[in-house]
Amino acid sequence: MTNALTFLSTICGALKNIKRTGWVRMGVPLPESDADHMHRCAMCALLVTSQLPDPRDDYSSGTNSQFHPANINGSKLLKMALTHDLCESIAGDITPFCDEGAVASKHDKEKAAMEQIREVVGDPLGKELFELWKEYEELSTPEALYCKDIDKFEMVMQAFEYEKAHLISKNELSSWCISSDDDGRKIPALSEPLRTFYITTSKKMRSPMFQRLDAELRIEREEMLRQRGWEVLPEEK
């Protein structure tokens, strides 16, 4: 029997309150939640099959043909993007930079969480959610590969937006150390670029569409950093 209220309140509701671990670790002001992240992931998924293919994206060579929008199940991709981090409502947001024990047990914790969610939701939806998560984890289909690209790209885009909003110019570092508002509170800001998020995702996109979008974003970021006196490291490009 489906416990819809528990699913919507306790599980889905938790995602609105879980702040993404990577942003918290870097001290980003007002870090986004898991729900924020998955919402824009779903918007990215809509773009894949709801628009005509962009002529700049080459689907003709090698394994790229599997990513042609005509070969993608748009409904599955949308559902996967919207729910790929659902397990974190119970397991938490574990990143590669968490302690070794948490990283080592990440898959088992997330699998157990999805099994628990399946029990709460009930089949057939519970089974579908579990199988979508499993497919995503195994990267066993073009939809799962797309979803992984989307997950990475959305993170990179969010990092860029945080830098645009909060990264101070390099020549203002010394004065920022003592900057405060009228109540004497230090003004939230980033004192250095969020390099880790770009290094760990550099050249990791597999689909032509997100390879292009990722490249465009990094060009914009390089110009923004240059204007603020920062350089882009080779491993970030």
Nearest CA-CA partner of 149 in 85, 213, 194: 213
Say what the pTM is: 0.91
* Cβ(136)–Cβ(147) below 8 Å: yes
CB atoms under 10 Å from CB of 149, counted, come to 24
Per-residue model confidence (pLDDT) at position 226? 96
Note the pLDDT of residue 2.
74
Instruction: Tell me the residue type at 115.
Output: E
> Please, where are the H alpha helices in 51-141?
74-83, 88-91, 100-104, 106-121, 125-138
Packing angle between helix 106-121 and helix 125-138, nearest 10 degrees?
Answer: 160
Residues 102-141: pLDDT tens digits?
A: 778 899 999 999 999 999 999 999 999 999 999 999 999 9
pLDDT at 53: 94
Reported for 57-63, long-range contacts at CB under 8 A and 24+ positions apart, including other chains, are 57/208, 57/209, 57/212, 58/208, 59/208
DSSP assignment of 6-49, as one string? HIIIIIIHHHHH-B-HHHHHTT-SSPPBHHHHHHHHHHHHHHHH
Separation CA 38–CA 56 (nearest Å): 26
Query: With contact defined as beta carbons under 8 Å apart, do 106 and 96 qualify?
Result: no
User: 158-183 pLDDT, tens per residue?
Assistant: 999 999 999 999 988 766 654 454 55
Task: State both tokens at 103.
Answer: 């990283």
Indicate the range of 27-31, 55-59, 211-215 predicted with least confidence. 27-31
d(CA 46, CA 111): 27
